[in-house]
Structure 1
Amino acid sequence: MLKQNLQQKLLQKLSPQQIQFIKLLQVPTVSLDTRIKEELEENPALEDFSLTNMSEPEEQYPDRDPDEDNYSSDDDMGGSDEFNIDDYLQEDNVNDYGSRYDQNGDDDEDRKEIPIAVQSSFFENLQSQLDLLPLTEKDFRIGQQIIGSLDDDGYLRRPITSLTDDLAFSQNVMAEDEEVEEMLKVIQTFDPAGVGARTLQECLLIQLRKKDANDPVIKKAIIVVEDYLDEFTRKHYDKLEKVLNMDSMELRAVVSEILKLNPKPGDSNEVNTKQMQVIPDFHITNNDGTLVLTLNAKNAPELRVSRSYQDMFEHYDKASQKDKKLKEAVQFVKQKLDSAKWFIDAIKQRQQTLLKTMNAIMHYQYDFFLTGDEKNLKPMILKDIADKIGMDISTVSRVANSKYVQTEYGTFLLKSFFSEAIQTESGEEVSNKEVKKILEEHIGKEDKRHPLADEKLTEILKDAGYNIARRTVAKYREQMNIPVARLRKEL
């Protein structure tokens, strides 16, 4: 049965401008340049003023205010390189403009792309080694199937019977398990050493057996990996010395040899050029005891709205007669102008928000930025900064999670300055970063033959006035990626 009723709802929706600002705010400096270039390519009404005026003398603009509205000025925005408006309106279809712009606006002489180093991938390297072997067609296809079944670490995680079934169903190759096993042994002779192993133990043994078989250290290392790998990983060195009848010097040499092996041979040939470069968003300098904050110049591009687009819109908007084609053109131009203005406003708002947030963080952690000593970090949570600048916690979080600041003592992620508070015996609140620093110092100075257990570390902190539980010590140790005492033991 259908019913009608009235209902009141309070909804909060983000405008397109707000969504654009949120997306821009969380973009780090290293990616901002790419984002701006994308916008410049998509919106011909938007110009990079620094690029369009590179060839003109700087003295022509001595009084130009860099903070003035980029789209409200009537001067210095024209250019001889703008496309002809009449030619644009003579085109058959306004909607085709984007594709024509992409095709014709590409100048090979002006495009300067960064060369990318070409390097064979892990699987291409294995395939090239397989191609060099004198194999029958059947063995070659079995080898291809094995290589294609390896994971990124270089291991064969699938059982041989599964490979045999795949060969039969997908490639119509009838092979026995023994044939696949034999071909796997061939793959295991390839570089990098250890590839094609099915377990960590097999991977290490393959690498050791490729070394000098007459070396006594290698012989003992093979025995350790083959028969006592569990004791080795648990660092039960006393038991190994007793069982293998070795002194500490001999065992140290064996352990050193095993630690040189690569547990993930698939990683050894990977290209690491895609790691993101860290570019600081802020710079803090110490000027005779006074901290000075500056924003990276890449966060403040000189963007302007195209003067030709403004003239085009004003001219045809005032036209007495407007046919359908002209109305579509005017609507398109207005959309591009509005989009350009929104983007420029979002960039400006981004700059203001970044500076406002970082300035509050700098003053909150003033002692740290003066000295660089982590013990001077105050307890600080997102709400503390949000209350100071009068913004939402989510805004501060977007800034802190992806932005870096360069200081005299290194480059830091803003997120690293936020920490919980811990109360000392005297009632003073200190940052948990201070406790972590003390833990790190004591673990760094410990006797590695007898490393400090969490209980002992808890006693040390209590003696220093930090009354925290052992489980909290364990939590901080894990956050710093420090293993338990047993795994820190060394010979």
Structure 2
Amino acid sequence: MLKHSLQFKLSQKLSPQQIQLMKLIQLPTQAFEQRLQEELVENPALENGKEETSELDDYNDTDDYNNDDYDNERIDTEDINIDEYLSNDETPDYKYQSNNYSDDDEEKSMPHAAVISFHQDLLNQLNTFILNDEERVIAEFLVGSIDDMGYIRRTIQDIVDDLAFTQGVYSDNETVERILLIVQELEPAGVGARDLQECLLLQLKHKTPSEAVELAIDIIENQFDAFTKKHYEKLIQKYDISKEQLRKGIEEIEKLNPKPGGAFDSNLKPIEHVIPDFTIRIVEDELELLLNGRNAPELHISKDYQEMLRSYKDTSEKSNSQKDAVQFIKQKLDAAKWFIDAIKQRQETLYVTMNAIMHYQMEYFLEGDETKLKPMILKDIADLVGLDISTVSRVANSKYVDTPYGTKLIKEFFSEAMKNDQGEDVSTIEIKNILQKIIETEDKRKPFPDDKLAEELKEKGYPIARRTIAKYREQLDIPVARLRKKI
């Protein structure tokens, strides 16, 4: 049985302008500059640079300004107040802006080295080998199957099948295995391996033979499981060697690269330069916050568009084509006006948010001591500045601040609170730093398990559960005690 009913529901939806503003706030300086250039190209009514007279300063037609679909809605040109879009010769807004922008933000271009890709380098090396046509197709296919870390993660049978289906080359496992051995001779050593054990073996066999290298090869080839589990006593008994001999063998293994392809990429990857969005300076024992000047472009409305409107206003007989032109001009002017206002809101949001963070963490920014970092969550800052938590998150997640102690990602200043033995709130950042120092100074022959680390922290005044220690250790990318053991 079908029933009809009415249901009333209140829901909050963001307008397209609000969504665009949130996206602008989230952009770091470099991405913001790209977005600005896109808008300048798309909207001819918007221009960049200083303007001696203001434009649209007295535009208060909020009904038109807040129209979500002004690009699609037909507007009666007779209802447009042309004067609202023309210059009134008042002092422009930027003359009243406070000097909160850094003065050393000119864009510096740096040359980048032209590099070839990892796979192209491997293909170039193949040219030094004498191969027939079929062998070369197989070799190039194997190179194409190597991932960015330098491994082939597929079985030989899968590769044989793919060669038949995609390349029309009908081969067998033995032939592909033979060509794989050639691929594995390419540099960097270890490339083309199918697992970690084979990768380490390939690298060891490229080394100059010695007693330590021979021992390392035997360990990886025949005692790989015992080595990965760091059962050193078992290895000493197995090979009837001294601790010093085992230590030298293990040192040879520790010099190897478990990700040969990754090392190649990192060496040839162009350096990415972080552009700080803010700068914090200490001036006469006071903190000074500056917003990167590249976040504060001077935008204005095109004079040509104003002249077109002025000409339309002065024309006694208005044709349909002129009215269509005014319709187009109004849409572009509305978009330009909104974009200029959005940039101002972005500047204000970035500045007030970072200013609140700076004052909340004033002790740290004055001294640079990470133990001075106070517990701080997004809600703390949101409450201070009267913004939504999501807005604060957008500012914090992708922005950098240049401090006297280095350039920092803003989100790194946020942390949860835990109580010490005095009942005082301390930052989890402080606890992680202490945990890391304890692990760095431990006896690597008998590294501390998590319960012992918990005892060490408790003695220092931080009563923390073992499971929390394990969580912090994983966040710091520190392995368990067994894997930190050294001989």
Taking structure 2 as the reference length, the TM-score comes to 0.84
User: What CA distance in whole angstroms lies between the structure 2 residues aligned with 1:299 and 1:69?
Assistant: 24
Deviation at 1:425, TM superposition (A): 2.5
Assess if the C-alpha contact under 8 Å between 2:278 and 2:292 holds in 1: yes
User: What CA distance in whole angstroms lies between the structure 2 residues aligned with 1:205 and 1:69?
Assistant: 75
The answer to whether structure 1 residue 137 and structure 2 residue 133 are counterparts is yes
User: What CA distance in whole angstroms lies between the structure 2 residues aligned with 1:317 and 1:235?
Assistant: 86
Assess if the C-alpha contact under 8 Å between 1:48 and 1:302 holds in 2: yes
Q: Which residue in the other structure is 1:245 paired with?
A: 240
Taking structure 1 as the reference length, the TM-score comes to 0.83
Deviation at 1:222, TM superposition (A): 0.7
Q: Which residue in the other structure is 2:99 paired with?
A: none
The answer to whether structure 1 residue 233 and structure 2 residue 231 are counterparts is no
Of 468, 484, 487, 1:488 maps to 484
Q: Which residue in the other structure is 2:26 paired with?
A: 26
Q: Aligned with 1:270: secondary structure?
A: helix
User: What CA distance in whole angstroms lies between the structure 1 residues aligned with 2:233 and 2:311?
Assistant: 90
The answer to whether structure 1 residue 194 and structure 2 residue 210 are counterparts is no
Letter in structure 2 aligned against 1:410: G
The answer to whether structure 1 residue 444 and structure 2 residue 450 are counterparts is no
Deviation at 1:356, TM superposition (A): 0.8
The answer to whether structure 1 residue 206 and structure 2 residue 207 are counterparts is no
User: What CA distance in whole angstroms lies between the structure 2 residues aligned with 1:121 and 1:319?
Assistant: 62
The 5 A counterparts of 1:8-87 are: 8-49=8-49, 74=89
For the aligned residues, what is the CA RMSD?
A: 2.6
Instruction: Tell me: CA distance 1:378–1:225, structure 2 relative to 1, closer, same or farther (3 Å).
Output: same
Deviation at 1:412, TM superposition (A): 1.7
User: What CA distance in whole angstroms lies between the structure 2 residues aligned with 1:359 and 1:422?
Assistant: 25
Assess if the C-alpha contact under 8 Å between 1:386 and 1:393 holds in 2: yes
User: What CA distance in whole angstroms lies between the structure 2 residues aligned with 1:129 and 1:425?
Assistant: 62
Letter in structure 2 aligned against 1:482: I
Assess if the C-alpha contact under 8 Å between 2:215 and 2:249 holds in 1: yes
User: What CA distance in whole angstroms lies between the structure 1 residues aligned with 2:420 and 2:468?
Assistant: 14
The answer to whether structure 1 residue 170 and structure 2 residue 185 are counterparts is no
Letter in structure 2 aligned against 1:29: T
Of 255, 258, 261, 2:253 maps to 258
- Per-residue CA deviations over 1:39-68 (Å, capped at 9, x if unaligned) read 112222211105xx8xxxxxxx7xx99xx8
Q: Report how many aligned residue pairs link the two structures.
A: 443
Letter in structure 2 aligned against 1:394: S
Q: Which residue in the other structure is 2:359 paired with?
A: 363
Deviation at 1:368, TM superposition (A): 1.3
Letter in structure 2 aligned against 1:34: Q
Q: Which residue in the other structure is 1:316 paired with?
A: 312
User: What CA distance in whole angstroms lies between the structure 1 residues aligned with 2:324 and 2:4?
Assistant: 41
Of 327, 332, 339, 1:336 maps to 332
Instruction: Tell me: CA distance 1:239–1:144, structure 2 relative to 1, closer, same or farther (3 Å).
Output: same
Instruction: Tell me: CA distance 1:329–1:223, structure 2 relative to 1, closer, same or farther (3 Å).
Output: same
Deviation at 1:302, TM superposition (A): 1.4
Instruction: Tell me: CA distance 1:468–1:73, structure 2 relative to 1, closer, same or farther (3 Å).
Output: farther
Q: Which residue in the other structure is 1:283 paired with?
A: 279
Deviation at 1:275, TM superposition (A): 5.9
Q: Which residue in the other structure is 2:95 paired with?
A: none
Of 434, 449, 453, 1:457 maps to 453
Q: Aligned with 1:144: secondary structure?
A: helix
Q: Which residue in the other structure is 1:56 paired with?
A: none
Deviation at 1:75, TM superposition (A): 7.9
Instruction: Tell me: CA distance 1:73–1:414, structure 2 relative to 1, closer, same or farther (3 Å).
Output: farther
- Per-residue CA deviations over 1:326-368 (Å, capped at 9, x if unaligned) read 3332222222221111111111111111111111111111111
Deviation at 1:402, TM superposition (A): 1.2
Deviation at 1:389, TM superposition (A): 0.9
Instruction: Tell me: CA distance 1:117–1:350, structure 2 relative to 1, closer, same or farther (3 Å).
Output: same
Q: Aligned with 2:215: secondary structure?
A: helix
Letter in structure 2 aligned against 1:15: S
Runs of at least 5 residues in structure 1 that lack an aligned partner in the other structure: 54-60, 78-111
User: What CA distance in whole angstroms lies between the structure 2 residues aligned with 1:212 and 1:176?
Assistant: 34
Instruction: Tell me: CA distance 1:133–1:74, structure 2 relative to 1, closer, same or farther (3 Å).
Output: farther
User: What CA distance in whole angstroms lies between the structure 1 residues aligned with 2:447 and 2:4?
Assistant: 74
User: What CA distance in whole angstroms lies between the structure 2 residues aligned with 1:455 and 1:318?
Assistant: 85
Of 198, 209, 218, 1:223 maps to 218
Identity score, percent: 55
Deviation at 1:237, TM superposition (A): 2.4
Deviation at 1:465, TM superposition (A): 2.3
User: What CA distance in whole angstroms lies between the structure 1 residues aligned with 2:109 and 2:274?
Assistant: 20
Runs of at least 5 residues in structure 2 that lack an aligned partner in the other structure: 60-84, 93-107
Letter in structure 2 aligned against 1:479: Q
Q: Aligned with 1:193: secondary structure?
A: coil
Q: Aligned with 1:277: secondary structure?
A: coil
Q: Which residue in the other structure is 2:145 paired with?
A: 149
Assess if the C-alpha contact under 8 Å between 1:20 and 1:343 holds in 2: no
User: What CA distance in whole angstroms lies between the structure 2 residues aligned with 1:49 and 1:150?
Assistant: 50
Instruction: Tell me: CA distance 1:48–1:75, structure 2 relative to 1, closer, same or farther (3 Å).
Output: farther
